[in-house]
Every structure is written in structure tokens, then in C-alpha cells.
């Protein structure tokens, strides 16, 4: 019998889910492929995989996509998968660096800036982690829990 090809993100918040896939009876029925969120979505769209664990913000990009389970990776309490590191006061934040490989982080940061923090910084890609350690005045960086 052919195995189901399953793509999943290897971020810190998916570790319990991946552990379950790798250590339960289902492990014999699947071929687990670890990839970035955008690559999981691409593989699902191209038919390279049968199922994929993707961020909900990518769901509109899935051709003929459907939610196949009532389960998701979520938290009931505060988590630290998204941290704002900055040099200065929030209301003076003029530049915000974000890991643009994460559409979820980018979307969440833009929503927080606009509706929660009521600021409009210039958004730039966080090209490497070291940049976040040497922020100038008025600069900030969104750090993801899987990278911290």
C-alpha cells in the first residue's frame, strides 16, 4: 500500500505534532516531509504531497483546498513564539524588521502595528538574526520562537 505523503513545518510549536506522527501507529502509513510553511503549501498545490500542515494565512492560496481535520497547532495560554525586540519606545518605532519567510509573522506584525500599537513603521526583511542584536534607535525586530 502506498504511503500518504505529509508535509509539515519543523518549527518549535509543531514539535508535539511531529512527535505524534513519528511515534504513533500512523508512522507506518505516512512519508513525512519536513519543509518551510510556504514549501508545504507549494507541495500541496503541485500534488507532491497528499496532506500538509500549513499556517491558516496560507489557506486561501491552496487550490481546491479543504480543512481535513478538526485539529490544529494552537495554545490556550500566552506563548513566546512571536517577540518584539526594539531599541526605544514603541510609539517611536520607525523601522521594523521581520522574517519575511513567515507569512504568519508578517501578517500578524502588520495587524499589530495598525490596530493594536497604532504605529506605521517601515517594514524591512530580517535578513539575518545578527541584525536584531544591533538595532539602531527607533528600530525593532520581530523574532520568531523557532529562531530565538
DSSP code at position 4: E
Alpha carbon 122 to chain centroid, angstroms:
21
Whether the Cβ atoms of residue 97 and residue 138 lie closer than 8 Å to each other: no
Of the two residues 10 and 138, the one the predictor is more confident about is 138
Same domain flag for 54 and 107:
no
Q: What is the mean pLDDT of residues 16-35?
A: 88
**73 located within any domain:** no
- pTM summary value: 0.62
CA-angle at 80, arms to 102 and 131, nearest 5°: 55
Query: For the chain, how many structural domains are there in total?
Result: 2
Residue 31's SS3 state is: strand
Residue 89: give its domain's CATH number: 3.40.190
Q: Which residue segment(s) compose the domain that 49 sits in?
A: 4-61
Burial of 110: CB neighbours in 10 Å, binned 0-12, 13-18, 19+: middle
Residue 7 grid cell: 508535509
Which of 33-47, 77-91, 108-122 is predicted with the least confidence, judged by mean pLDDT? Answer: 77-91
Amino acid at each position: 500500500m502506498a504511503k500518504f505523503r505529509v508535509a509539515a513545518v519543523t518549527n518549535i510549536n509543531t514539535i508535539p505534532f511531529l512527535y505524534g506522527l513519528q511515534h504513533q501507529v500512523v508512522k507506518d502509513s505516512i512519508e513525512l516531509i519536513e519543509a518551510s510553511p510556504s514549501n508545504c503549501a507549494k507541495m500541496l498545490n503541485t500534488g507532491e504531497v497528499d496532506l500538509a500542515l500549513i499556517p491558516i494565512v496560507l489557506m486561501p492560496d491552496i487550490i481546491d483546498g479543504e480543512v481535513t481535520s478538526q485539529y490544529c497547532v494552537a495554545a490556550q495560554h500566552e506563548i513566546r513564539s512571536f517577540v518584539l525586540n526594539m531599541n526605544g519606545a514603541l510609539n517611536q518605532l520607525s523601522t521594523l524588521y521581520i522574517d519575511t519567510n513567515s507569512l504568519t509573522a508578517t501578517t500578524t506584525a502588520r495587524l499589530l502595528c495598525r490596530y493594536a500599537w497604532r504605529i506605521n513603521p517601515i517594514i524591512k526583511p530580517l535578513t539575518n538574526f545578527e541584525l536584531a542584536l544591533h538595532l539602531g534607535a527607533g528600530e525593532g525586530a520581530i523574532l520568531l520562537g523557532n529562531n530565538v
